[in-house]
Chains A and B, each alone.
Chain A
Amino acid sequence: MTSILYDAPGPRAKRRNVLFSVVFFVLLALLLWWIWQTMDEKGQLEWALWKPFTTSEAWTTYLLPGLADTLKAAALSMVIALPLGAVLGIARMSDHRWVRIPAGAVVEFFRAIPVLLLMLFANEFYVRSTGIPSDERPLYAVVTGLVLYNASVLAEIVRAGILSLPKGQSEAAMAVGLRKSQTMSSILLPQAVTAMLPAIVSQLVVIVKDTALGGVMLGFTELLNTRSTLAANYANVIPSFIVVAVIFVVLNFILTSFASWLEGRLRRSKRSTGAVLGADKVDDVNAAEVGGTYGTGAGGSI
């Protein structure tokens, strides 16, 4: 294998690579052995702590309802944030300054603020100003915080998606006499949505991860929150963390794989213009990349 950093290895390099492999393998094995040993020392490997996960009770009482709440909050946030983000993103590209500037300010503001602050504020707002019952309030607060943040991230994705289309698309629309709104709604948006799909799916990973914040700080009964009830019940802190982490990794891995599958499919597709906003694109959807001023709240996918 050759790369920018090194050429295809010759005999000497091959010997050296084997040596590195062996040394690294030994180090890795030592590390794993040490972790295993420490776990054993603290009695974390005892079957009694892991056994609950083989029973249906742990799953039906704690983990699955928690996972359901995680998914519910994530899905709600995405469904609400998407149209909001589309409106903000399109408004930011408006020809009228009085539309463009406020939309830009809103997007940059909400991207600059940690999502936890938005959740805390929303929670307190609902406590004081609305009659939402206290058992539903955490869900409302979590979804509100996530919507405000992700709508502005999605706004940038929408903008980047539209800008990623070849210029000829809007020029041709203008040439056949479509109005600006017609160009946007029947030419640009339908293509941009397809181009954006991978980026949107990978933003879903961010949303899923952020729901855990509500579990700790607001008492929203998502997976991390039900984990603590479970651990209190079975006294298995470490195993429960490992199981929850595995659930999150599997869930997000499925979403990520789906996003890159979509991306590959769209890139190969012959019917489109070939414009695709990759799953990685979320990382660098900052205004600099898409032709504006450099914004505050980049790093949308972290």
Chain B
Amino acid sequence: MFDFLSDYDDPTLLGAFWVTVQLTVLSAIGSLIWGTLLAAMRVSPVPLMRGFGTAYVNIVRNIPLTVIIVFTSLGLANIFGVTMGAPDDFEAKAFRLAVLGLVAYTAAFVCEAIRSGINTVPVGQAEAARAIGLSFSQILRLIVLPQAFRSVIGPLANVLIALTKNTTVAAAIGVAEAALLMKEMIENEAQTLLIGAIFAFGFVVLTLPTGLILGWLSKRLAVKR
């Protein structure tokens, strides 16, 4: 029943899911950094930075991820010669470009998640802290950020799960991850339903623990108000 799986060795089933995991982890790290920077701009007291952050988020959020990913390949790589320092190898290049596209897109959502987390802290908290004479860095370190981080876990978990699912879009530029392997298998093999079930199961395995663990964590750490 599962015999056909051994016909696929570049990549194997596990290999393809491993690429999905790599895409997810690298893009998650990248978008966390870029998204935090964007969020810092959006809540900063400098109007120009706020404007840039707002514009970036509103533009990028409204463009389909597929458009962004395809653009990294056809536009950035083919026309502008951006290769992200990849060796002259189609696979490696597509992988890095996909990560770039995923980071650019996901960062907008990370930014919004973090900003909404900061906004859940009541202004009275900071005012009370100022009233008892804490300095700016003390207010951030002791009062605001500890509360903000806790309420950010839930929304960030949602973004991470969505990112895991979004990595399948990288198939559009030929990254050999799970969705591309599924497309190949499902077109060539007879067991359509079985193949669908295998890949569906793979994604449930990837997203379910993330949702359960981070969901439990965000509930546990939530600030009761």
Contacts and interface: CB of A to CB of B under 8 A. Distances in A.
Contacts of A30: none
A42 B70 contact: no
A297 B207 contact: yes
Of B123, B171, B216, chain A has the most CB atoms within 10 Å of the CB of B171
B1 interface: no
Interface in B106-129: 106, 109, 112-113, 116, 118-119, 121-123, 125-126
A53 interface: no
Contact of B63 (A115, A125, A249): A249
Contact of B74 (A1, A28, A128, A237): A237
Nearest to B50: A1
Nearest to B210: A296
Nearest to B213: A294
A2 B186 CA distance: 57
A48 B27 CA distance: 37
Contact of A294 (B125, B168, B192, B216): B216
Interface in B34-81: 43-49, 52, 58-59, 61-67, 70-71, 74-75, 78-80
B75 A128 contact: no
A237 B116 contact: no
Interface in A209-247: 209-213, 215-217, 224, 231, 237-238, 241, 244-245
A5 B140 contact: yes
Interface residues of A, number: 65
Contacts of A297: 161, 165, 207, 211
Interface stretch (A17-25, A158-166, A189-197): A17-25
Size range of the chain B interface in the assembly:
35 or more
B79 A24 contact: no
A139 B62 CA distance: 22
A42 B79 CA distance: 7
Contacts of A20: 44, 46, 49
A248 interface: yes
A248 B208 contact: no
Contact of A216 (B70, B163, B208): B70
Interface stretch (B7-15, B87-95, B152-160): B152-160
B168 A296 contact: no
Nearest to A298: B158
Contact of A121 (B49, B71, B196, B212): B196
Contacts of B52: 24, 28
Interface string A144-167: 000000000000000000000000
Of A252, A295, A296, chain B has the most CB atoms within 10 Å of the CB of A296
B179 A212 contact: no
Nearest to A244: B67
A6 interface: yes
Given A6-B136, A299-B161, A294 B49 contact: no
B187 interface: yes
A169 interface: no
14 contacts: A4-B144, A5-B43, A9-B45, A112-B204, A113-B204, A116-B168, A117-B200, A117-B203, A209-B63, A213-B66, A215-B66, A253-B58, A296-B204, A298-B162
Interface pairs A-B: 4 shortest CB-CB: A294-B215, A299-B162, A302-B162, A252-B62
Interface of B: 43-49, 52, 58-59, 61-67, 70-71, 74-75, 78-80, 106, 109, 112-113, 116, 118-119, 121-123, 125-126, 130, 136, 140, 144, 154-155, 157-159, 161-163, 165-166, 168-169, 171-172, 179, 182-183, 186-187, 192, 196, 199-200, 203-204, 207-208, 211-212, 215-216, 218-219
Given A124-B186, A286-B215, 19 more contacts: A3-B45, A4-B125, A5-B118, A13-B45, A24-B49, A38-B80, A209-B66, A237-B78, A238-B75, A238-B79, A241-B74, A249-B59, A284-B155, A288-B219, A294-B215, A297-B207, A298-B161, A299-B161, A302-B109
